[in-house]
Homo-oligomer: A and B are copies of this chain.
Amino acid sequence: MEIINWKELLYPYAQTVDELLLKFRSLDKECRQLGIYSPIDSVTGRLKRPASILEKAGRKQISPDRIEEEIEDIAGIRILCQFVEDIPKVIEMVRKRKDMTVIEERDYITNTKPSGYRSYHMIIRYPLFTALGEKTVPAEIQIRTNAMNFWATAEHSLRYKYSGNIPQDLQDRLKNCAEAAFHLDQEMATIREEITNAQRLNEIKNNL
């Protein structure tokens, strides 16, 4: 049985999360300073924890020495948007950058998962310059609205606790929450244009 040196294995992923966070948070701040509408509401990052990595490796029958190649979401950032319409703008921003390469995209917004999960996932490769030389690190970028996010956060805790087998009754209640979140996104869409204009004007006013 191999012992995994987690500190060493996780270091490049942690550094990738830090660089991605800095870069996407900066885009948002820059838009606000320039008085351009920012499609980004907030950005968070996370490193998959050893317990979750091992659980996923077990479930997908990945041997310990293949973890780095085959688990692509060890480094992850999440970009939250105010409106569903902001999501394609963020996707475009990611695709255009030359400091990372998109290698896969999964659209769970058009294709909502049976559980009710909605989100847009991009798998990228990020070139990192470490003390030991260049290293290309995979990372996952999740793009969703705030409403999609609270539902997903709730569902994630339950799925993790019940190891995927959420009791039917709880599944039904979760489904109701998903619908309420979806409904909120639809109502928000009816005021989107007025709000985005207002925010742009307000930023300009505040920068004077």
By a beta-carbon cutoff of 8 Å, the part of chain A in contact with chain B is 7-8, 11, 15, 18-19, 22-23, 26-27, 30-31, 33-34, 36, 38, 49, 51-52, 82, 93, 96-99, 127, 129-134, 146-147, 150, 153-154, 157-158, 160-162, 170, 173-174, 176-177, 179-181, 183-184, 186-188, 190-191, 194-195, 197-199, 201-202, 205-208
Secondary structure call for the A interface: helix
Copies in the complex: 4
Contact of A194 among B8, B170, B190, B207 (CB under 8 A): B170
Given contact pairs A52-B206, A82-B150, A206-B52, A201 touches B161 in the complex (Cβ within 8 A): yes
**A96 contact set on B, CB distance < 8 A:** 129, 133
| Residue in A181, A186, A187, A206 with the greatest tally of chain B CB atoms within 10 Å | A187
Complex Cα–Cα for A64 and B18 (A): 35
Whose C-beta in chain B lies nearest to the C-beta of A52? B206
- With A7-B207, A34-B131, A154-B191 known, 18 other A-B pairs at CB within 8 A are A8-B33, A15-B26, A18-B22, A27-B130, A51-B205, A97-B129, A98-B129, A99-B99, A99-B129, A146-B150, A147-B150, A154-B195, A158-B198, A162-B198, A174-B191, A177-B184, A177-B187, A179-B187
Complex Cα–Cα for A182 and B63 (A): 47
**A33 contact set on B, CB distance < 8 A:** 7-8, 11
- A167 CB to nearest chain B CB (Å): 9
Determine if A30 and B131 form an interchain contact, defined as CB atoms under 8 angstroms apart.
Answer: yes
**A147 contact set on B, CB distance < 8 A:** 150, 184
Whose C-beta in chain B lies nearest to the C-beta of A35? B8
Determine if A36 and B158 form an interchain contact, defined as CB atoms under 8 angstroms apart.
Answer: no
Whose C-beta in chain B lies nearest to the C-beta of A49? B206
